[in-house]
Amino acid sequence: MVKKKENNQQIREDDSSFYLPQDLVEKILANLPTKSLVKLIVVSKLWSSIIRSKYFIDLYLKRSVTRPCFLFTFRRDKRRFFHSISQEAAPSSSRTSSFPLSLDTRPLLLGYNVCPPVRGLIFCRHLDKVVISNPSTGQFLVLPKLKTKRKQISRFFGYDPIEDEYKVLCMTVLQVSYNSGPVVSEEHQVFTLGGAQKKKAATWRTIACKLPHFPATNGLCFNGVVYYGAWSNSDRKGSLIVAFNVRLEDFTLVKLPIGVEIYKSRDSELVNYQRKVALANHSYKGNFELWVLDKQEWSKISVVVPSWNDLVGRSLFYCRGAISSGEFIFTPSFSDGSFFIIISYDSKEEIVRRVGIEGIGDGTHYVTSFLDYVECPIFL
């Protein structure tokens, strides 16, 4: 809940007889797109202090979460771009429709892989390099180099709402020969952004992990906890879900239902199901099971998309989760032709829609899709 500020300063324009109450200015700014805030932050020191304040950021995010977006990131002409569209617009459109693409977001370097967004920020990685970016403002922050000589690194991104801190979790795995036996993650390190860390030089810190495991999937952050799929070791045996508490910086085990396994990369993914963590196995087939975690209890949802082969042909479309309306969202990993296709499936009404995003297909290869992205006015 956003608390009302006690002091209500007044902002005077050039006309000395004209005043704007600060709370009115804040309400006006909170309804503007972040691209506009980037320009307005240089209007005056007072406006800059308003837009950068935690009170305003919380106010802006409170409204932004009611307007979630799809976020797409893709490579073109040796650069990486980001594009977002409203989740309400795309699935509610006609059964076959298209949206134009506007490449107006500052690109990142080509080689960076992108992890799921957390409260408006995204986390990009390439070998031992780590970058935090805000697609809404076009800004990015390069973090110090990770303290390791190893090349096999797993990374996760989370947010602690109590301390108002973003954290990056990294762990390494020793590269060994196939006949040397199974290994688990080691060298667990954390980097903190925001909160009390602003007052001192940020650096990588080593933390303890008493839960031996080998990471297997991307992570999802909900309510201050980062969840990711893992195995007991590199032999891919003993499937489990790891919960990393961002504030306490500890690891706990979430047991999977009997018989449910984590498979190799892309055959198993953690997805967002109406703001809950869900495990989707082999979701590219159009006929699969989704295991949803709610209050430490698992429930199974069987998904069968009608006319699947007619919709996707030979392309592989993966389930990315379900939005607030309950519609399942499917996207491919690669763009084919001049459109990037989104499939939405309303299981209650048995309605399937096919939506095309114009422009992503031309000269574009690998495309990453995320649900429930929200614009955030954080300046890095």
Residue-wise pLDDT tens digits, 1-46: 444 444 445 555 444 445 678 888 888 888 888 888 888 888 888 8
80, pLDDT greater than 90: no
Q: Which tokens belong to 192?
A: 């903190």
Whole-number Å distance between alpha carbons of 189 and 207: 6
Contacts of 106-111 with C-beta under 8 Å, sequence gap 24+, read: 106/138, 106/139, 106/140, 107/79, 107/80, 107/81, 107/82, 108/79, 108/80, 108/133, 108/140, 109/79, 109/80, 110/75, 110/78, 110/79, 110/80
Average the pLDDT over 239-243 and give the result.
94
Output the CA angle 172-174-178, nearest 5 degrees. Answer: 140
What pLDDT does 329 receive?
A: 92
List the helix and strand counts (H, then E) for the chain.
5, 27
One DSSP character per residue, 147-170 reads: S-S-S-EEEEEEEETTTTEEEEEE
Cα dist from 9 to 1, 26, 132, 327, whole Å: 22, 11, 33, 45
Confidence at residue 2, expressed as pLDDT on a 0 to 100 scale: 45
% of the chain surpassing 90 pLDDT? 29
Among 37-46, 128-137, 221-230, 338-347, the range with the most confident prediction by mean pLDDT is 221-230
The alpha carbon of residue 324 and the mean position of all alpha carbons in its chain are separated, in whole angstroms, by: 16
Per-residue confidence (pLDDT) for residue 283, from 0 to 100: 84
| Backbone dihedral angles phi then psi of residue 24, each to the nearest 5 degrees | -70, -40
Please determine, for residue 152, whether its predicted confidence score (pLDDT) is greater than 60. yes
Per-residue pLDDT at 349 = 87
| Section 61-71 average pLDDT | 89
CA distance 247 to 114: 23
What is 176-227 written as a DSSP string?
--GGG-----EEEEEEEEEGGGGGS----EE----S--EEEEEEEEETTEEE
Position 78 scores a pLDDT of 66
Distance CA 302, CA 376 (A): 35
Say if residues 117 and 71 touch (Cβ distance below 8 Å): yes
CA dihedral 255, 258, 264, 269 (to 10 degrees): -60
pLDDT of residue 103: 40
Closest by alpha carbon to 101, among 342, 318, 378, 371?
A: 342
- Cα 292 from Cα 48, distance rounded (Å): 42
Least confident of 106-115, 286-295, 303-312, 363-372: 106-115
Asked if 162 contacts 195 with a C-beta cutoff of 8 angstroms, the reply is: no
Q: Decide the pairing of beta strands 129-134 and 121-126.
A: antiparallel
Rounded CA-CA distance 281/283 in Å is 5
Tokens of 269: 């993914």
What average pLDDT does range 202-223 have in this prediction?
A: 92
All residues at 6 or more sequence positions from 5 whose CB lies less than 8 Å from its CB, including other chains = 22, 23, 55
Tokens matching residue 345: 């499936």
Average pLDDT score over residue span 50-58: 90
**Distance between CA 152 and CA 124 in Å, rounded?**
15
Can you give the pLDDT at residue 156?
94
CA distances from 283 to 237, 321, 333, 370, 374 (A): 21, 10, 13, 15, 25
332-358 average pLDDT score: 82
User: Which has the higher per-residue pLDDT, 303 or 364?
Assistant: 303
Task: Give residue-wise pLDDT tens across range 169-192.
Answer: 999 887 655 555 677 888 999 999
| Number of CB atoms found within 10 A of residue 166's CB | 23
Whether the Cβ atoms of residue 234 and residue 184 lie closer than 8 Å to each other:
yes
The token pair that represents 40 in the structure block: 């307005």
CA 289, chain centre distance (Å): 23
More confident residue, 4 or 305: 305
